[in-house]
Amino acid sequence: MNLDLTEEQKLIQQTAKEFAEAELAPVAGELDRGGDQQPFFDNLRKLAELGFMGLNVREEYGGAETGVVAFSLALTEISRACASTAVTVSVNNMVCEVIQAVGSEEQRRQYIPRICSGEYPAGAFALTESGAGSDPAGMTTTAVLEGDQWVLNGSKIFITSAPYAGVFVVWAVTDKQAPKGKGISCFLIERETPGLSIGKQEEKMGQHASATNEVVFSDCRVPKDALMGRLNDGFRVAVGELAGGRIGIGSLALGVGLAAIDCATRYALERKQFGHKLADFQAIQWKIADTFTELEAARLLLMNAAFQKEQGRSYARAASMAKLFASESANRACYEALQIHGGYGYTSDFPVERYARDARITTIYEGTSEIQRLIIARDILRSFG
């Protein structure tokens, strides 16, 4: 097994690293504190120009066509500097991929290039509802065909990039009589469609620069051809895309965790107590050793999942394992980093308190750690059965 990166993958990783250090890191703290949001949007546009909004999208639709491994590498570097930017990039890539996978040729050519080019600052993935989070099959938003139009009613919550998304991938029940999860379809809905409104923006613990809102559909009428993929086949599409999204969120978590422990290691080499550098104490050395070891294991799990997806193999279990371990490891890394900083880690004078807040959500979105364990266990038990 060759674990070396290709020259193209190395170039993408290095480009992402340099951009993150030069453009994202200098403004991340101010964005987190609610400062001017324009640099956030400027950086999204620059990332689109560099090709980062469609890394696993074919060139004919405006994508970079560099593959899943490159996507994971790039997202890790971006999230080292700004998790809010990273989650936007992750969701944009996911939206492009789902349109590419099941959209019509007209839908692909109409929407994917707009996201990849930055014409749309973002795309949005509208699946979660207040009563259907970990159980998306329990959604209640409906789409009813009236003549040559679908009429949607209901609401979605926790939708990343909702206020500035150009297009929404929306799931709704199209057959109320079908067994649970079997009567759900997928739609593409443009931002300015009458009947679609953006609701309350959540006041979150972290990732402040990335907007997270409710999206409401009130007699929202869209053309018949807004349906994406086959009628009543949307739940299967959602499950498949969530598996790929877990590679993105796992990579994001890894980047935040690495940023935190890098910061703590530098601090341990500078800070002195009892006449010695913190790094001289075995207690601190073991924290550093254990954390870097866990994050390296997370990296390898993510590379394995990304490679399997890139090769067209079954990768759902690998993606869940990678997301579970990377997100939990990143949270531990952030808290160890904060502990190494002592009281200073609890202040905004150092970025580790932001890293800890930004990392916390990674064990929740794209499927909680508990859901990942269910997916992994069921797949293992199925293989034995």
Q: List active site positions.
A: 366
Q: How far is CA 7 from CA 10, 12, 218, in A?
A: 5, 9, 50
Query: How far is CA 50 from its chain centroid?
Result: 19
**Closest C-alpha to 197, from 225, 168, 176, 226:** 168
Distance CA 225, CA 328 (A): 41
The position carrying tokens 């080499």 is 269
Tokens of 299: 């990296």
**Closest C-alpha to 27, from 67, 84, 70, 92:** 84
H or E, element range at 165: strand 165-173
The position carrying tokens 């601090």 is 267
Distance CA 119, CA 113 (A): 8
- Within 8 A by CB and 6+ apart from 17, the residues are 77, 80
Strand partners, 145: 150
Amino acid, res. 379: D
Distance CA 123, CA 111 (A): 9
Q: Give start and end residues of each alpha helix (H) in the chain.
A: 7-19, 25-32, 38-49, 68-81, 83-102, 105-117, 234-270, 282-310, 316-341, 352-360, 369-384
